[in-house]
Amino acid sequence: MRLTVGGHTIEVGNADKVFYPDAGITKRDVVAYYEQVAAVMLPHVRDRPVSMQRFPDGITGEGFFQKDAPDYFPDWIATVAVETESGRNVRHPLIQDAATLVYLADQACLTPHIWLSRAEHLHHPDRLIFDLDPPDADFALVRHAAHAVRALLGDLGLPAYLMTTGSRGLHVVTPLDRRADFDTVRAFARRAAELLARREPDRLTTETRLDRRGGRLFLDYLRNAYAQTSVAPYALRAKPGAPVATPLEWSELDAKDMTARRYTLRNLFRRLGQRTDPWAGIDRHARSLAEAATRLKALEETERSRS
């Protein structure tokens, strides 16, 4: 199978290999999905180092993460050298165009995971993220936690954007102006999460150890660190039914049929045909953490005085 995308010719090997046996979805379908979704997906992934989650034999086979772009990748795929903790440089691919997205799909990259910063400012994120996964199958608790995070961010003067992960939970994301470094952003996210956990100790926690959470939802702020990644908006997940990480309007969160896997390769384009991308223009709402940190400190002091 040969495709020409953006002036680049891509030979898709084993196009009829079944990647999602439960849904009968082939590699051909996956490649076609990424070619079609590229226009809406690219603004959210462009310029961000990518970690590729690859499944050469489909979701029932063994998958693996790959950070470095192999030598055999064509030279038209952009890359960025990233220094690791050991001092070694890893050259991550960048998804700058539809052809790269399609090429990675041909490499059985079902799920691109992206950095929270961009190549030109690797140490200064333009996203703050809370990863909300339920302790069990209780999606109602995830909904509740997402609303709580949004309310707190609103009190701090920060916008909140919502996305299903396509797996178990939700992401709540705030766009940043890149003035703060990762240590500052992570410390802020931790304090915000701890404040929420103190408000609702029976439902929410920042306890990192699973055996100490006691059925409470972990307000995961840990992704806000250098070289950490999150699933890209509109990325497929290696789960039955080919679910898609999907940006949502907040008004959709409480719909009875809403789950982390509500949207899939089979129904996402029907959705996109009915509404615009809820994250379109997200970067225009980027904020500084400076004023938000001042507001957070005031809330912490107020709550300490009440206890």
pLDDT at residue number 84 = 79
As annotated, the residues of the chain forming the CATH 3.90.920.10 domain(s) are 1-115, 122-307
The mean pLDDT value for 163-182 works out to: 98
pLDDT at residue number 192 = 98
Quote the CA–CA distance of 273 and 293 in Å, as a whole number: 39
Is residue 127 a contact partner of residue 233, using CB atoms and an 8 Å limit?
Answer: no
Give percent of the chain with pLDDT exceeding 90: 95
The mean pLDDT value for 183-200 works out to: 98
CATH class of 1-115: alpha beta
Q: Where does the chain have alpha helices with state H?
A: 27-45, 98-106, 139-155, 182-199, 268-274, 289-306
Quote the CA–CA distance of 236 and 264 in Å, as a whole number: 8
pLDDT at residue number 20 = 98
pLDDT at residue number 11 = 96
How far out from the chain centre does Cα 272 lie?
A: 19
pTM above 0.85, yes or no: yes
For 108-125, write each residue's pLDDT tens digit. Answer: 999 999 999 999 999 999
3-state secondary structure of 207: coil
The mean pLDDT value for 265-276 works out to: 97
Average pLDDT over all residues of the chain: 97
Confidence of residue 9 (pLDDT cuts 50, 70, 90): very high
Integer-rounded Cα Rg, in Å, for the chain is 20
Neighbours of 256 (CB within 10 A): 5
Is residue 115 a contact partner of residue 178, using CB atoms and an 8 Å limit?
Answer: no
pLDDT at residue number 303 = 87
Confidence of residue 189 (pLDDT cuts 50, 70, 90): very high
The CATH fold assigned to 122-307 is DNA primase, PRIM domain (3.90.920)
For 68-110, write each residue's pLDDT tens digit. Answer: 999 999 999 999 999 877 778 999 999 999 999 999 999 999 9
Give percent of the chain with pLDDT exceeding 70: 100
